[in-house]
Amino acid sequence: MGEDKETKERLIESAKAEFTEKGYMKASLRKICADAGVTTGALYFFFTDKEDLFAAIVGKPLDELKNMLLGHFAMEKEMPLSEIYEHIDGGHDELSAALMHHLYANYDAFMLLLTKAQGTRFEGAVDQMVDMIEITYRALYENMARKIPNKQVNPYMLHWLSHMIIDAFIHLITHERDESRAVVIMSRIMNFLVGGWMDLVLEDKEY
Amino acid sequence: MGEDKETKERLIESAKAEFTEKGYMKASLRKICADAGVTTGALYFFFTDKEDLFAAIVGKPLDELKNMLLGHFAMEKEMPLSEIYEHIDGGHDELSAALMHHLYANYDAFMLLLTKAQGTRFEGAVDQMVDMIEITYRALYENMARKIPNKQVNPYMLHWLSHMIIDAFIHLITHERDESRAVVIMSRIMNFLVGGWMDLVLEDKEY
Amino acid sequence: MGEDKETKERLIESAKAEFTEKGYMKASLRKICADAGVTTGALYFFFTDKEDLFAAIVGKPLDELKNMLLGHFAMEKEMPLSEIYEHIDGGHDELSAALMHHLYANYDAFMLLLTKAQGTRFEGAVDQMVDMIEITYRALYENMARKIPNKQVNPYMLHWLSHMIIDAFIHLITHERDESRAVVIMSRIMNFLVGGWMDLVLEDKEY
Amino acid sequence: MGEDKETKERLIESAKAEFTEKGYMKASLRKICADAGVTTGALYFFFTDKEDLFAAIVGKPLDELKNMLLGHFAMEKEMPLSEIYEHIDGGHDELSAALMHHLYANYDAFMLLLTKAQGTRFEGAVDQMVDMIEITYRALYENMARKIPNKQVNPYMLHWLSHMIIDAFIHLITHERDESRAVVIMSRIMNFLVGGWMDLVLEDKEY
DNA sequence: TATGAATGAGATTTCATTCAT
DNA sequence: CATGAATGAAATCTCATTCAT
């Protein structure tokens, strides 16, 4: 079985295995091809180079993820502030459930992207996501700051919190294989984070 | 200037630069030697191999760090529980200030260790530190759990929180070059973390 | 001429020349490849490493030789003693002619194997052959010793004679390029050796 | 003890060990120096290069050996033929006992010379000795041949027998560490060889 | 005498990539 | 679509040797 799978498919499968085992840089194209039962030349019919092969695994899931984030934030932008407060408190579960579902639906890809991408153009993907989140939250918090006297956004904390959110996802996907359990965990984590949130990011101006 | 520095010193300097720029695996010994103004053979007079060169930069600072953690935890072990509560609340500042000082006193080394060690025997160093912290906190929280009815330790949260502490340090050192500012930030972060701490790690038994 | 020979063939040819000239250890793969008109990488398409290249030259002929010896000895095992006596006296010519033919049919390979293999896994090949012969002759002589009162096998002489036989072949192949002349010489040598044979290996028990 | 031995002596001792273990080519001067407790530079005060170090071990014993052979052969040259016959039969024991004594008095040196000299200018030493013996015996046998009608010297056999004698010594020194036992063995071997000697080397002219 | 440092040339090996067929 | 062969550049490492001090 599986032997009549298309070559491209087989290459991607063995690439996943090799990248997972050795990381991008130490992964050997020779081995990937051998495992897929073809010669190196064949690989170059389907992919332009090593990185393209990696991209074939992680590219689409990553783009979809970005679009989900973008879509969500676009939505928030158009909300009145009052709704946003609710959204922050309650809506996280909704978004994070959706994200989580996407993450776990593409488990292998995100595993590679988040932990084995060093040496590829994706090695900055985590930071990019952090930045995406950060930009959105900056808008949000600065909006708040303007309405509360003597408060300002602390940029470091903003960045760190953005990082923590992403790290929470990474930690989850690398430590909990079951999606439904992961959703429960993430819910509790978000509650925790949101608790101390505002005090940390919004500081008194004399700081 | 610097041309009369000793060769070993120059090698370490250019190694730092090269490792920082390219990461361990992509770093070229040729380039390191050329930048230091010696031939490749010279490197092997001072270091047994590439990894030994990396270790010459990060090894000692890492060991010292481990000893600091170990020393601290050993101390906690011998305290009565009442003191430990205080210690957790107040004492963190003390320890983290000391750690931070050590981190910043060896800024370059920890930068490499924490972000460029892939491919060396140090690539698991972060996880090791997480484990060290986790072990200590597990003892602490299980101790507490035994004294509060119907509570138990949630192992995932324990692990995640341990991770978060380490990540907080990593994030700090990679985003804030000034030590005194870093100490202030870390103090606030710790306050935040300790706040929600117990609710997260100690859960009701029916969970 | 010879430029359209296949690369692998050319590599083996220039390897033979280089190994012959310099010995295994001092032989340079660069030179072998240059002489064959390819880059060093090409070599590694056909051979896994330097030793594999050497093995590609000497491995098969050596295995065949071993099989010839094994086959012959297996035959002797099944003979009644009376026939063996004849066999020793007369049959040697038969075996040694066959061996000789094999040796000279693979002249280059055995030349390398017997005189240039230091540093390879074949460097013990001569001793192995000696051992093979010795084991067989030990059985034979011990068999005889049991039937002659007050005689025993002298292990040193047994070993030395085994060595002498192998050395006779080595000496021949390194000093006489013509096969038919070699066969004649070997025949006379064997006659000589067989003459004093028994007195030397079978000694009086009081020794 | 031994620590106040002179450096040169210690170098030679550790060189013996290293050459014996690894052979000349694979032997590491670094290791030899380290074992002797000095740095590489020191070695070059006493020896001009690696080969000179090897020569310092084997050179003198080899020269002495050559002189012994030369002296003996010179003596034979001046003898009347009648005495030589006796000499061949009986005198071998005398010479070979002397040779053997010399060999075993310089056991380590000859071990190296005979089995580990590949890569040095001594790698041909065995052949040289063979040649020395051969030259002498050629004179002897040609002398005889002239006096016996229809006989001539077979050059191949002459060479092979010369080889066999040397090989007998080599085999002995590599398999029997005790000198007195070695002398006994050699005596028996020589008897055996001399037995078939003449028939082999002196052949009918129609050959 | 001996050290410690450094050279410089070379070694084998690996690998992504290319391309004619 | 895929093969098999080959490239070419680079990699790490080893080692005998030299030399100023």
What's residue B72's pLDDT? 78
Choose between D144 and B27: higher pLDDT.
B27
- Among D residues 2-61, those touching chain C with beta carbons less than 8 Å apart: 23, 25-26
**Which residue, chain included where needed, has tokens 């002897």?**
D140
Report d(CA B171, CA D194) in Å as an integer: 89
State the helix-helix crossing angle for D107-115 and D7-26, rounded to 10 degrees.
Answer: 20
Q: Which residue is nearest to nucleotide F10 (CA to C1')?
A: B28
Q: Is the pLDDT of residue B117 over 60?
A: yes
Span D174-198, average pLDDT: 89
**Interface touch D156/C176, C-beta < 8 Å:** yes
Separation in Å: F13 C1' and A145 CA: 60
- A40: tokens are 């190196």
> What type of residue sits at position B45?
F
What's residue A83's pLDDT? 67
**Each residue's pLDDT tens digit, A168-194:** 999 999 999 999 999 999 988 988 887
**Each residue's pLDDT tens digit, D30-48:** 999 999 999 999 999 999 9
Choose between A79 and D168: higher pLDDT.
D168
Strand, helix or coil for residue D150:
coil
Residues 6+ apart with CB under 8 A from D83: none
- C118: tokens are 């230091």
Choose between C158 and C76: higher pLDDT.
C158
Confidence grade of residue D95 (pLDDT, cut at 50, 70, 90): confident
Report d(CA B20, CA B116) in Å as an integer: 7
Instruction: Kindly calculate the radius of gyration of chain D based on its CA atoms and give it in whole angstroms.
Output: 20
Report d(CA D25, CA D120) in Å as an integer: 8
What's residue D85's pLDDT? 64
What's residue A77's pLDDT? 67
Strand, helix or coil for residue A106:
coil
User: Quick check: D171 contacting C, CB < 8 Å?
Assistant: yes
C40 touches strand F (CB under 7 A): yes
Q: Over chain A, what is the mean pLDDT?
A: 88
**Each residue's pLDDT tens digit, B147-191:** 888 999 999 999 999 999 999 999 999 999 999 999 999 988 988
Span B70-98, average pLDDT: 70
Report d(CA C5, CA C14) in Å as an integer: 12
Q: Over chain B, what is the mean pLDDT?
A: 89
Span C174-186, average pLDDT: 94
Q: Is the pLDDT of residue D159 over 70?
A: yes
Please tell me what DSSP assigns to residue A202. Answer: E
Comparing CA positions, the residue from C11, C1, C84 lying closest to residue C52 is: C11
Report d(CA C141, CA C144) in Å as an integer: 5
Span C107-117, average pLDDT: 96
Span C57-84, average pLDDT: 83
Choose between B90 and D133: higher pLDDT.
D133
Q: Which helix (H) or strand (E) holds B153?
A: strand B151-153
CA–chain centroid gap for A22, Å, is 21
Give the gap in angstroms from C-alpha A21 to the nearest C-alpha of chain B: 13
Q: State what percent of residues in chain B have pLDDT above 70.
A: 89
CA angle, B135 as apex, B198 and A113 as ends, to 5°?
85
Give the gap in angstroms from C-alpha C121 to the nearest C-alpha of chain D: 14
SS3 content of chain B, % helix, strand, coil (to 5): 80, 5, 20
Do residues A58 and A113 lie in contact, with contact meaning Cβ atoms separated by under 8 Å? yes
How many CB atoms are closer than 10 A to CB C16? Answer: 20
Q: Is the pLDDT of residue D143 over 50?
A: yes
Nucleotides of E under 7 A from a protein CB: 1-20
Do residues C118 and C200 lie in contact, with contact meaning Cβ atoms separated by under 8 Å? no
**Each residue's pLDDT tens digit, A17-56:** 999 999 999 999 999 999 999 999 999 999 999 999 999 9
Q: Which residues partner with A202 through β-bridges?
A: A153
Give the gap in angstroms from C-alpha D158 to the nearest C-alpha of chain C: 12
What's residue A181's pLDDT? 93
Confidence grade of residue B97 (pLDDT, cut at 50, 70, 90): confident
What's residue C46's pLDDT? 96
- Specify the pairing of strand C151-153 against strand B202-204: unpaired
Q: Is the pLDDT of residue C1 over 50?
A: no
Residues counted in chain C: 207
- B91: tokens are 């004492």
DSSP string, C94-112: HHHHHHHHHHHHTHHHHHH
Confidence grade of residue B88 (pLDDT, cut at 50, 70, 90): low
Report d(CA A63, CA C59) in Å as an integer: 55
**Which residues in chain C have their CB less than 8 angstroms from residue D176's CB?**
156
DSSP string, B138-155: HHHHHHHHHHSTTEEE-H
What's residue D113's pLDDT? 97
Strand, helix or coil for residue A152:
strand
H-assigned helices in chain D: 7-26, 29-36, 40-46, 50-77, 81-86, 92-105, 107-115, 125-147, 155-175, 179-201
Do residues C101 and C37 lie in contact, with contact meaning Cβ atoms separated by under 8 Å? no
What's residue A2's pLDDT? 41
**Interface touch A192/B192, C-beta < 8 Å:** no
Q: Is the pLDDT of residue D91 over 90?
A: no
Span C3-26, average pLDDT: 91
User: What burial class does residue C49 get, using C-beta atoms within 10 Å of its C-beta: 0-12 exposed, 13-18 middle, 19+ buried?
Assistant: exposed
User: Quick check: B187 contacting A, CB < 8 Å?
Assistant: no
Give the largest Cα separation in chain C, rounded: 69
**Which residue, chain included where needed, has tokens 């095992």?**
C77
Confidence grade of residue C191 (pLDDT, cut at 50, 70, 90): confident
Q: Which one of C24, C171, C172, C202 would you mutate to disrupt binding with D, by most D Cβ within 10 Å of its Cβ? A: C171
Q: Is the pLDDT of residue C104 over 50?
A: yes
**Each residue's pLDDT tens digit, D10-36:** 999 999 999 999 999 999 999 999 999
Report d(CA C134, CA C140) in Å as an integer: 10
What's residue B8's pLDDT? 96
**Which residue, chain included where needed, has tokens 């002189």?**
D67
